[in-house]
Amino acid sequence: MKGTSKMSVKVEKTENKNEVKLTFEVEAEAFNNAITKVYFKSVKHFNIPGFRKGKAPQNVVERYYGVEIFYEDAFNEMVPEIYENALKENNIDAVSRPEIDITQIEKGKNVVFTATVQTKPEVKLGKYKGIEIPKVSYSVKDEDIEHELGHIAEKNGRLVSIEDRAVQDGDTAIIDFEGFVDDKPFDGGKAEKHELVIGSHTFIEGFEDQVKGMKIGEEKDVNVTFPEEYFSKELAAKPAVFKVKLHEIKVKELPAIDDELAKDASEFDTLEELKNSIKEKLEKENQNREKFETEEAAIKGATEVAEIEIPSGMIETEIDNMIKDTETRLSYQGMNFETYLKMINKTEEDFRKEYEQQATTNIKTRLTLEQVFIDAKLEIKEEDTNKEIEELSKTYGRKAEELKENENFVKYVEDKLKADAAVKYIIDNAKNK
């Protein structure tokens, strides 16, 4: 039993692996102080006959509403700090939210409650030294450079009008159209001089195929059916007729791949210089690809031979974090998580289930690399952490000194460097297939 004069705590393992139960007994005085603190925070909301709003004494509020009125808030006010301190004092690495069970709570008496929590699991490393990793190598071929040049030419092409034939795949057709459902026009179904690239599949299925073969000046009824999953429910699965008139046919005329293109499309004066620049860019991309695939193979090899029993709460917490990341990304697009779920026709439960395997893999990878770092007696230097923070400060547009004051951010950087060091160690000690 550990504790101070205000509190005592007993720690015991449960019958479940990687789980402990902490039994707390908090002195009545500490609980009474928490009640008083909560009273002063909330008194302004109480309106009791005979007193101005927010001016009723604590004992009057308790008589009027019942003595238990402040219990829940006082408990929540008091417990988080007590719980966190107990974890630190007992070296408990909790990986789940605690399951709280209050066994005694009453004014004037000690508060007794238990907190059952899952703990970080033991990692049994397999034979991670000397694992086999495929040798990955990618080279830049002439056709790769030509492919890139083709993209550059495509970007710098210009549309020219033709009049001597009908519309074909790849043409840009300049059309007027108006759509009708049940012989009535509908919102958004009309446009003039619209540029439609045939074969782009930007219109309803079947529309572009029926525009093919039309000649300049020709008018035609195009019959289509809206998809069942169409965003407008009024139009979903409905047959429609579009009255279409073709004004113009344009084709993309590509420039010659020569020195002139290099001058127009880049900072280089010659095609040879542009080719060399493309080659350098592709070689760098290949190096990054080789590095990524080698690291992935090293991580996979080490985690496959490691034995870890991951607690369910740890997986749930990881999924929570993954969902938070998704919510952040969606917010940049002006969308919330609930709307996104409706769009993909899934419940949050479906979403969590789909994330479960990825969450498990993430945790196993993280724990394995942490243990490799310890097992191999690796170190990261303070200057390495500072250097990484300096680099990240440029990315985030923040001052490095400001980031260094954030303990969570510094820990994130240290954990990243430790994981990188562990991966490098596995690769340095691996065998190539």
Q: Is the pLDDT of residue 345 over 90?
A: no
Single-letter residue type at 59: N
pLDDT tens across 76-128, in order? 999 999 999 999 999 999 999 999 999 999 988 999 999 999 999 999 999 99
Residue range 174-187: mean pLDDT, rounded: 94
CB 413 within 8 A of CB 389: yes
Q: How confident is the model at residue 343 (pLDDT cuts 50, 70, 90)?
A: confident
Return the structure tokens found at 187: 């919102």
CB 337 within 8 A of CB 297: no
* Alpha-carbon dihedral angle through residues 133, 134, 139, 145, given to the nearest 10 degrees: -100
pLDDT tens across 392-413, in order? 998 888 888 888 889 889 999 9
Q: Is the pLDDT of residue 26 over 60?
A: yes
pLDDT tens across 231-250, in order? 888 898 999 999 999 999 99
- Sketch out the chain's domains with CATH numbers: 2-119 (3.30.70.1050), 158-253 (3.10.50.40), 286-432 (1.10.3120.10)
Place of tokens 């417990």: 79
Cα–Cα distance, 137 to 28 (Å, whole number): 69
- 332-339 contact pairs (CB < 8 A, 24+): none
Strands, E, within 130-238: which ranges? 132-133, 158-162, 172-181, 184-197, 219-225
Q: How confident is the model at residue 3 (pLDDT cuts 50, 70, 90)?
A: very low
Closest CA to 365 of 123, 120, 93: 123
3-state secondary structure of 94: strand
Cα–Cα distance, 286 to 99 (Å, whole number): 49
pLDDT tens across 352-397, in order? 999 999 999 999 999 999 999 999 999 999 999 999 999 999 888 8
Q: Which residues of 397-424 are buried (b: 16+ CB within 10 A; e: fewer)?
A: eeebeebbeeeebbeebbeebbbbbbbe
pTM of the model: 0.73
Closest CA to 385 of 363, 406, 364, 362: 406
Q: How confident is the model at residue 433 (pLDDT cuts 50, 70, 90)?
A: low
pLDDT for the residue 1: 43
Q: Which helix (H) or strand (E) holds 247?
A: strand 239-253
Q: How confident is the model at residue 309 (pLDDT cuts 50, 70, 90)?
A: very high
Helix residue ranges, H only, 90-205 = 142-155
CB 29 within 8 A of CB 6: yes
Q: Is the pLDDT of residue 4 over 80?
A: no
Strands, E, within 277-341: which ranges? 307-308
